[in-house]
């Protein structure tokens, strides 16, 4: 952190610092969640809280904080220091930032940060990134759709804006922000909640430094970084040296519909060093699937190495990420970024797929590969005459693993502890009725270890409004299985307008919906791992009884014959049927 690594420090102090910094970030998260105005924060938990050093090095992030935010925090501090200098901050300052030239994300992900001063020195920064329901433009809900042409259509751009100067709010600036967004009460409340969480982080870090001294804390941080690096290197050391490649596709970017988005991951391992090269991915797009982030590589690397340990700068010290300027993951401003995170889970899966042959016992099949199935409906409630935004993130199925079935109804690997919004909260606060939320039978790929299941959620709108239905297509490249496992099913949207005889598929964009229309949101399932014919017949029977697998699929893909009202396994027929399937496949 500061070159104080030579300072002798006792192991007890190191362990206190090792646990205190994540504890501070966790306490910030609790404070934010309890004081925010926006369901995407206090229910869905689409945020992260972090402590950073004076040069943007990550000291800690809250447990469960959104995983794909981790790569894009330090760049904000580095940009601020380059602009203002380290002597350009004062105690009590507070900043807001969402600008895509640095943040590389959709504008709804708004960052607040405050400097941490202790013992008269700038120790670092306290930071919160959280999802606002609206930042103007076409941002309502989960941001502008993939068809947005530029950031100005997406919403209000805030570029290193000081909203608090030495403890005093800039009221003129606050009015400027709230006058350009549709839900000022929610967003201004969230802004204050974020800044309050940052202040809490300041206090906790200051207390730690005052107790042990700034040199001791910095020396401890240096040691923590080295320990995290060493543990990650030890895992990479076990992977055979070599170059490993995999690729995948997303259907399109909602603008150039005949041009799929290519994701190609080239992973090089040399002893304990790993390079993840994403420079061969598609060029930046006209649709809003662009970003500027190394998050996909960071998440994949952390998942492969020491996923259960607290994250910090040392977690990625042995990783080199190569990304070419002008690709869709390192797009040049002002490329549209409204759906920036949509490709990210598939990027992570593709990196892991590249290493499947090298470490077959550690890589799962692909999960559903999107940032959940976003549910977003907005309008004006006729009973209160107030604008509303309904939001939830419906999870999907993860891939089968070398040791077990994939989890069902879970958010993506990029989303930390994000979850769907409770039905009770949705129906209490908004003019909607959730008619079903259920697992999708047969959506998980067949395998020795079955893929997890996606979700089908049906919501009827009780007021006129707009559905925002944007989910990246995976029909060209469904969630793949490994080692003989079958593909998982893909998700999508359907909308049945009031009075229509049947629902119609919707592929991206916004749809006006009269009262009593029904939206159907389906999330994908995970791929299967291993040969389905090797799955114990009793496990298949249990899946059928639970409604996870249909009886037809049990016979067709698993070769299991069930008989009688109790759907008991006919062992002789199952053995013969599996033999026939194996012979057909061999020929």
CA 95 to chain centre: 24
pLDDT at 523 over 50: yes
- Single residue among 485, 515, 530 that ends a domain in this structure: 530
In a domain, 275, yes or no: no
pLDDT at 118 over 80: yes
pLDDT at site 2 = 55
Binned at pLDDT 50, 70 and 90, residue 4 comes out as: very low
pLDDT at 535 over 50: yes
Q: Are residues 76 and 221 in the same domain?
A: yes
Q: Are residues 545 and 462 in the same domain?
A: no
> Which string of DSSP letters, residue by residue, matches 312-367?
-GGGGTTEEEE--TTBTTBPPTTS--TTTTTTHHHHHHHHHHHTTTTSTTT-PPP-
Q: Are residues 518 and 578 in the same domain?
A: no
- Rounded Cα distance between 521 and 420, Å, is 13
pTM: 0.95
pLDDT at 228 over 50: yes
pLDDT digits 0-9 by tens, 132-147:
999 999 899 887 766 7
Q: Are residues 425 and 570 in the same domain?
A: no
Element (H, E) at 84: helix 74-84
In a domain, 75, yes or no: yes
- Single residue among 190, 225, 260 that ends a domain in this structure: 225
Q: Are residues 436 and 512 in the same domain?
A: yes
pLDDT digits 0-9 by tens, 389-443:
999 999 999 999 999 999 999 999 999 999 999 999 999 999 999 999 999 999 9
Residues counted in the chain: 587
Q: Are residues 446 and 564 in the same domain?
A: no
- Rounded Cα distance between 175 and 152, Å, is 19
In a domain, 349, yes or no: no
Q: Are residues 524 and 538 in the same domain?
A: no
**What are the two backbone dihedrals, phi and then psi, of residue 75, each rounded to the nearest 5 degrees?**
-65, -30
Number of structural domains (the chain) is 3
pLDDT at site 9 = 84
Q: Are residues 17 and 58 in the same domain?
A: yes
pLDDT at 539 over 60: yes
Q: Are residues 526 and 538 in the same domain?
A: no
- Rounded Cα distance between 198 and 221, Å, is 20
Q: Are residues 190 and 103 in the same domain?
A: yes
Whether 432 and 378 have beta carbons less than 8 Å apart is answered as no
Average pLDDT value over all residues in the chain: 95
Q: Are residues 562 and 526 in the same domain?
A: no
Q: Are residues 381 and 406 in the same domain?
A: yes
> Which string of DSSP letters, residue by residue, matches 104-142?
-S-TTEEEEEEEEEETTEEEEEEEEEEE-S--STT-TTT
In a domain, 473, yes or no: yes
In a domain, 350, yes or no: no
Domain containing 215: what range? 11-225
- Give me 18's structure tokens: 């090792």
- Single residue among 225, 260, 280 that ends a domain in this structure: 225
């Amino acid at each position: 952190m500061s070159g104080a690594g030579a300072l002798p420090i006792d192991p007890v102090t190191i362990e206190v610092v090792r646990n205190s910094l994540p504890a501070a970030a966790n306490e910030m998260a609790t404070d934010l969640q309890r004081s925010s105005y926006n369901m995407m924060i206090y229910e869905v938990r689409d945020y992260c809280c972090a402590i950073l050093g004076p040069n943007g090095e990550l000291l800690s992030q809250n447990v469960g904080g959104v995983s794909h935010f981790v790569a894009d925090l330090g760049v904000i501090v580095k940009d601020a220091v380059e602009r203002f200098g380290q002597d350009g901050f004062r105690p009590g300052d507070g900043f807001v930032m969402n600008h895509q030239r640095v943040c590389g994300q959709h504008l709804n992900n708004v960052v607040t940060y405050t400097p941490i001063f202790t013992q008269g020195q700038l120790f670092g920064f306290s930071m919160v990134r959280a999802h606002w329901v609206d930042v103007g433009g076409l941002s309502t809900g989960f941001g502008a759709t993939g068809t947005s042409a530029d950031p100005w259509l997406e919403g209000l751009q805030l570029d290193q804006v000081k909203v608090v100067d030495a403890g005093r709010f800039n009221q003129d600036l606050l009015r400027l922000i709230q006058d350009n967004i549709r839900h000022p009460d929610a967003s201004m409340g969230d802004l204050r909640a974020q800044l309050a969480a940052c202040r809490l982080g300041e206090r906790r870090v200051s207390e730690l430094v005052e107790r042990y001294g700034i040199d001791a804390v910095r020396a401890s941080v240096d040691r923590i970084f080295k320990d995290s690096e060493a543990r990650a290197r030890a895992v990479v050391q076990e992977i055979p040296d070599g170059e490993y490649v995999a690729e995948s596709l997303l259907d399109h970017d909602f603008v150039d519909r005949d041009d799929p988005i290519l994701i190609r991951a080239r992973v090089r391992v040399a002893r304990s060093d790993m390079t993840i090269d994403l420079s061969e991915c598609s060029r930046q797009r006209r649709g809003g699937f662009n970003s500027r982030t190394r998050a996909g590589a960071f998440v994949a690397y952390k998942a492969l190495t020491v996923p259960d340990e607290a994250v910090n700068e040392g977690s990625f010290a042995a990783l080199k990420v190569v990304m070419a300027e002008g690709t869709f993951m390192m797009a040049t401003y002002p490329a549209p970024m409204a759906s920036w995170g949509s490709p990210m889970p598939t990027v992570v899966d593709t990196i892991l797929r590249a290493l499947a042959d090298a470490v077959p016992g550690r890589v799962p099949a692909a999960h559903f590969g999107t940032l959940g199935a976003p549910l977003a409906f907005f309008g004006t409630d006729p009973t209160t005459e107030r604008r509303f935004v309904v939001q939830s993130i419906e999870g999907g199925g993860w891939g089968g693993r070398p040791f077990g079935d994939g989890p069902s109804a879970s958010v993506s690997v990029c989303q930390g502890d994000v979850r769907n919004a409770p039905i009770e909260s949705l129906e209490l606060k908004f003019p909607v009725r959730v008619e079903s939320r259920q697992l999708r039978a047969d959506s998980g790929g067949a395998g020795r270890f079955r893929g997890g299941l996606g979700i089908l959620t049906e919501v009827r709108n009780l007021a006129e409004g707009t559905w925002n239905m944007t989910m990246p297509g995976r029909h060209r490249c469904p969630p793949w299985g490994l080692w003989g496992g079958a593909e998982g099913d893909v998700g999508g949207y359907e909308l049945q307008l009031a009075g229509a005889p049947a629902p119609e598929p919707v592929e991206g964009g916004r749809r006006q919906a009269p009262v009593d229309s029904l939206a159907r949101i389906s999330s994908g399932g995970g791929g299967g791992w291993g040969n389905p014919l090797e799955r114990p017949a009793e496990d298949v029977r249990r899946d059928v009884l639970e409604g996870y697998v249909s009886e037809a699929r049990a016979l067709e893909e698993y070769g299991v014959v069930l008989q009688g009202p109790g759907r008991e396994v006919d062992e002789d027929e199952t053995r013969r049927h599996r033999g026939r399937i194996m012979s057909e496949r061999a020929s």
